[in-house]
Amino acid sequence: MTRRESFPTTPARISDQIKDKDFVLATDLDGTFLGGSEAERKQFYRWIEAHRDRVGLIFVTGRDPGFVSNLTRKQGVPRPDFAVADVGTTIASVGADHTLTPIAELEAEIAEAWGNAGGRVQAMLHGAPGLRLQSTGFRHRVSYDMDPDQFDAGVLDRISDLGLDVLTSDNRFLDVLPKDVSKGPSLLRLLAHLGVPNDKVLVAGDTLNDLSMLAMGLPAVAVGGSEPALIDRVADLEHVHVAKAVGVGGIAEAILAKSMFPAS
């Protein structure tokens, strides 16, 4: 990829094996792969589609499988090869029909760690100040919209006592997750399962719920406009490129800065 490269509109052949591709982008959605101007997004998406024989795509998102499927089926966003969704609690392949199919052998550990805790979590946090339960029904997580001015941080210890993890991001979301399960660990397990070399992968994000994947040592980018708390946490990590450009522009900036896409 070069700064003056043209963007063919005819998609190249998609390789069946992501491990054989020259470059794999593992990216958050909101604010990252869905960020930037409309023109920047269209250009970057065309570049991906024109190089699908060489570029693998993995979405690593807090969004649920239904959102991902609808996004790629109806909204002109490239279909990923795989998805780590639900803040790392879903690990799935993505079919030609845009349906996400969980990979059972990778999710078994997640399900065991969760232990059907959803009902207990909701009962414990019912009526907790500053928290509003999100309407989507998740399999291995419980998620809330959070009002930081009303939120009582004492609930964090109560969640920990259940043997679960809690993650806040963008100062407005709270996720209760299985112990030691988040975007980064789930992405690493998927890459190992697929046989993808870590040095071929660029991970991209913009909020604190992306920290676990940006901090794990793979080439990474915090795109422009990232949550300040995330920038503070990655400032001393040499493998993380802190981009000036927003959204997909920041991803493209990092691909060039780190020479992630070799000349064919």
Task: Give percent of the chain with pLDDT exceeding 70.
Answer: 94
My answer on whether 23 and 65 are in the same domain is yes
pLDDT at 264: 63
> What DSSP designation does 230 have?
H
Q: How many domains does the chain have?
A: 2
Residue predicted with more confidence, 212 or 136: 212
pLDDT tens-digit map of 80-125: 999 999 999 999 999 999 999 999 999 999 999 999 999 999 999 9
pLDDT at 12: 35
Q: Indicate if the pLDDT at residue 16 is higher than 80.
A: no
Q: What does residue 111 show for φ and ψ, rounded to 5 degrees?
A: -60, -40
Given 178, 206, 234, the domain boundary residue is 178
What is the value of pTM for the model shown? 0.88
Give the DSSP H/E element, type plus range, for residue 224: strand 220-224
My answer on whether 234 and 135 are in the same domain is no
Given 150, 178, 206, the domain boundary residue is 178
Return the bridge partners of 92, or none.
83, 102
pLDDT at 14: 41
Does 5 map to a domain? no
Task: Give percent of the chain with pLDDT exceeding 90.
Answer: 84
Say if CB 53 and CB 263 are below 8 A apart: no
Reported for 244-248, long-range contacts at CB under 8 A and 24+ positions apart, including other chains, are 245/36, 246/35, 246/36, 247/31, 247/32, 247/33, 247/34, 247/35, 247/36, 247/40, 247/41, 247/223, 248/32, 248/33, 248/35, 248/36, 248/40, 248/41, 248/44, 248/45
Given 131, 163, 178, the domain boundary residue is 178
